[in-house]
């Protein structure tokens, strides 16, 4: 995560692609923090800001604890300080 001269972390935008069409119940856990889309091949894409590495690990842990298969995690755009 980028840190600027004031020592503050600035969030980065990440894209999580998960296998399959996620249920509305599962999506409800993420809809406040992520934009959600379904791809043409019926996978689910979550795009949102991640504050720091512990937030990133928390999202990954939440997905895996729900037995959701993560296809990819991509840094969508790195914010410059």
DSSP state string for 23-76: -HHHHHTTTTTEEEEE-TTS-EEEEEEE-SHHHHHHHHHHHHHTTPPEEEEEEE
Least confident of 5-9, 41-45, 73-77: 5-9
CATH number of 12-77: 3.30.70.250
pLDDT of 81 > 80? The answer is: no
The pTM assigned to this predicted structure is 0.81
Residue 53 binned pLDDT confidence (cut-offs 50, 70, 90): very high
- Residue 2 pLDDT > 90: no
Q: CA-CA distance, 58 to 29, in Å (whole number)?
A: 13
């Amino acid at each position: 995560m980028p840190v600027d001269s004031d020592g503050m972390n600035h969030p980065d935008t990440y894209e999580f692609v998960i296998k399959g069409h996620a249920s509305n119940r599962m999506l409800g856990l993420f809809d406040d923090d992520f934009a959600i889309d379904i791809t043409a091949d019926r996978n689910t894409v979550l795009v949102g800001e991640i504050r720091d590495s512990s937030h990133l690990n928390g999202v990954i842990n939440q997905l895996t604890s729900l037995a959701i298969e993560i296809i990819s995690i991509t840094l969508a755009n790195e914010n410059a300080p």
